[in-house]
Structure 1
Amino acid sequence: MRPLRILLWHVHGSWTGSFVAGPHHYLLPVLPGGGPWGRGRCGRDWPATAHEVPAAELAGTDVDVVVLQRPEEAALAEGWLGRRPGVDVPAVYVEHNAPPEHAVRSRHPVAGWPGVPLVHVTHFNELMWDCGDAPTTTVPHGIADPGPLWTGELDRAVALINEPVRRGRVTGSDLLPRFGAAVPVDLFGIGTDGVTAADLGRPAEADVRGLGDVAQSGLHPRMARRRLYLHTARWTSLGLSLLEAMALGMPVVAPATTEAAVAVPPAAGVVGTSVRDLVEGARRLATDRGRAAAAGAAARAHVLEHFGLARFLHRWDAVLDAVVAGRAVPPVEPARTATEFPAEPARTTAEPPAGPEPTAAGSRPA
């Protein structure tokens, strides 16, 4: 496959960082004021093949395919390129989120767009969105291996949540005080400076401390010193921070909601829908370092197999190659490997005993 020139916006930094690690040239629009439609690289340490391009220069720039991530980007791309995505230039739409409201009534905005296939980042999201007749597939997340940094020397839990006070129910940050009553919880993310249990829920005196937003390079070592990772989201897409924690070798405690229900194997920690069970599982991991180490090793092995960067980029190359060539996007790969399905019961070669001959529909045996 030849290297492509791909126009995309910097929307989600972690996902974009993985995407631009591929073999192509990535064109990131830049506006004088930056903002959501023109932030470019935003200072990220990405490969040199991730190019910042002033929006005013895009009309004269060769583009092989447009990767859309928000509905408004289609009109921006048409205005800046002078070509309509999906009609005049190949395009694909990446949906990062679960439906915002009721899944049964959530019609995806791309469902009526001509020539634009839809790529979900989790199987759960593909299941829940009503995508109409739009061609769909799923390319699960992929992350670079941060290395087995976990030491677990601090018998504390860590959670990564942006704006936990405003997004309490969605992110499950209202549950943190219940965990904090059993295991001290350290909270990182945007809008966490000085946050305590009293800001999130009850019990207000629980040990929850907000430590602010930390760059990824400094965050991973700090996460790895904590005994376990808490993923409390009720209704969000699968967080890359969860996968990164698992790759560090951290055991995980998570509600069995959205994609986390299948992304975290039982051996990697505790997954369930009973908050009492989750809190008790967190307490046991915090007080038993050997148990935590074994669960963390299982978590790391699972992530490296299912969410590795090479696999992610290979899947995306297959999608991009199909879109540029005008072919159907590749079908969704199974979420499990063959060895992860329950074993089938042994079959016997003996014939079942002969029974009475079937009777005609509506008739009764004599």
Structure 2
Amino acid sequence: MRILIWHVRGAWTTAFVHGRHDYLLPAGPDRGPDGQGRSGICEWPAAARQVAIEELADEEVDVVVLQRPHEVELAEKWLGGRRPGRDVPAVYLEHDTPAGGIPDTPHPMAGGGVPIVHVTGFNDLVWDCAGTPTIVIEHGIVDPGRRYTGDIERAGMVVNDPVRRGRSVGADLLPALAAGVGADVFGVRVEQLPAHRGLRTYESPTQPDLHDHLPRRRVYVHLNRWTSLGISLIEAMHLGMPVVALATAETPLAVPHEAGYVTTRRDEIVPAVRHLMKDPDVAEEAGLIGRRHARRRYGLDRFLDEWDDVLRTVVAGTAP
């Protein structure tokens, strides 16, 4: 199967392109958001092939995986007039929680004739898709292996664009965490964070570098209030890190209590991290429990098999 897909979310796409198909990734001369091509920081197989935008009209495409509403128009233009959902089979992948009023936010693709895949059951629950067929396919991870050492007695986090995203990713909770236990934040545009005592930032490491350096931190902390389930959290659990997380959205189902600490109380975050920091044996055992859970629930084979089932039905015209 030849699948047209945009490089929108590097971590999710890394798992997806490890499947059994050919993946066509539009590449523009400026490598902008609509034409990033292959990832420069993730490890992707050769089957993930970038194609110049001007060459897409000559490509045979079996199915389009859409991730942003405007990609419908882009695909029709770039595929020589073939419109997703009409002339070529398509499915829409929703990564995010709604940004508007809950639970009444209408999904932008509702009623568009293209089935919607949600990455969590919570997302499927809170979006108003107005009767459009929906499917839930939870995340899958290319297992990086257990690498946890915890030899750096600090909290580790991965947050992209924390200043712009603000409270949704818990940026306002960072100063207390950094002052209380020390926090190392990895990700895109983390250098924009204001300086705080105990805070260190590491700008946009490659995925292999992140998997080497993150698990040296004693505890992984996930402060997201209102986002979809972060793949970085699942990766941290695969790495064997104990977790302290906010009990919001899908997180309570993703992180068993034995894997660390899940809470809705801001005054419990720093004490929970301190507890794991002062007892490395407890931290290591929590990380092992989290890794076992993450491998069962977010394994790559299950993820790819479920996507194959959906793509086959969409191409065959038998999707719900």
Q: What is the identity, as a one-letter code, of the residue corresponding to 1:96?
A: H
Q: Is the 8 A contact 1:65 1:90 kept in 2?
A: yes
| CA apart distance, 1:275 | 1.2
CA distance in 2, matches of 1:219, 1:30: 25
Which amino acid letter does the alignment assign opposite residue 111 of structure 2?
G
Aligned to 1:350: none
The yes-or-no answer on 1:32 pairing with 2:29 is yes
Distance 1:42 1:254 in 2: 29
Deviation of 1:257 after TM superposition, in Å, equals: 0.6
Which of 271, 290, 314 is matched with 1:280 structurally? 271
Instruction: Give distance in 2, aligned partners of 1:196 and 1:226.
Output: 21
Number of equivalences: 318
Aligned to 1:96: 95
RMSD: 1.4
1: distance between equivalents of 2:215 and 2:207? 12
In the other structure, the counterpart of 2:144 is 146
With the length of structure 1 as denominator, give the TM-score of the two structures.
Answer: 0.84
Identity value in percent: 53
Q: Report what 1:334 is aligned to.
A: none
What is the alpha-carbon distance in structure 2 between the residues aligned to residue 230 and residue 197 of structure 1?
19
* Partner amino acid, structure 2, of 1:286: M
Instruction: Pick the aligned partner of 2:223 from 226, 232, 242.
Output: 232
Paired AA for residue 184 in structure 1: G
Structure 1 residue aligned with 2:74, among 73, 76, 82?
76
Question: Mapping of 1:1-366 within 5 angstroms?
Answer: 4-43=1-40, 44-81=42-79, 82-114=81-113, 116-193=114-191, 195=193, 198=196, 206-329=197-320
Q: CA deviation at 1:194?
A: 7.5
Which residue does 1:347 correspond to in 2? none
The one-letter amino acid paired with 1:90 is P
* Secondary structure of the structure 1 residue equivalent to 2:163: coil
In the alignment, structure 1 segments of 5+ residues that lack a partner are 199-205, 330-366
TM-score (structure 2 length as normaliser) = 0.96
Q: Deviations over 1:135-186 (max 9, x none)?
A: 0011001001111100111111111112222322110021122222321111
Q: For the Cα contact (< 8 Å) 2:148–2:241, is it kept in 1?
A: yes
- SS of 2:64's equivalent in the other structure is strand
* Residue identity opposite 1:27 in structure 2: L
> In structure 2, what is the Cα distance between the partners aligned to 1:194 and 1:112?
39
Q: How many Å separate the matches in 2 of 1:243 and 1:62?
A: 35
SS at match of 1:315: helix
Greater Rg over alpha carbons, structure: 1
How far off its partner does 1:196 sit? 5.0
Secondary structure of 2:98's counterpart equals: coil
In the alignment, is the contact (CA less than 8 A) between 2:163 and 2:192 conserved in 1?
no
Any gaps of 5 or more consecutive residues in structure 2?
none
What is the CA deviation profile of residues 187-219 of structure 1, one whole-angstrom value per residue up to 9, with x for unaligned ones? 111222374554xxxxxxx42222322111111
Distance in 1 (alpha carbons) for counterparts of 2:315 and 2:173: 45
Assess, with a 3 A threshold, how the Cα gap between structure 1 residues 103 and 153 changes in structure 2: closer, same or farther: same
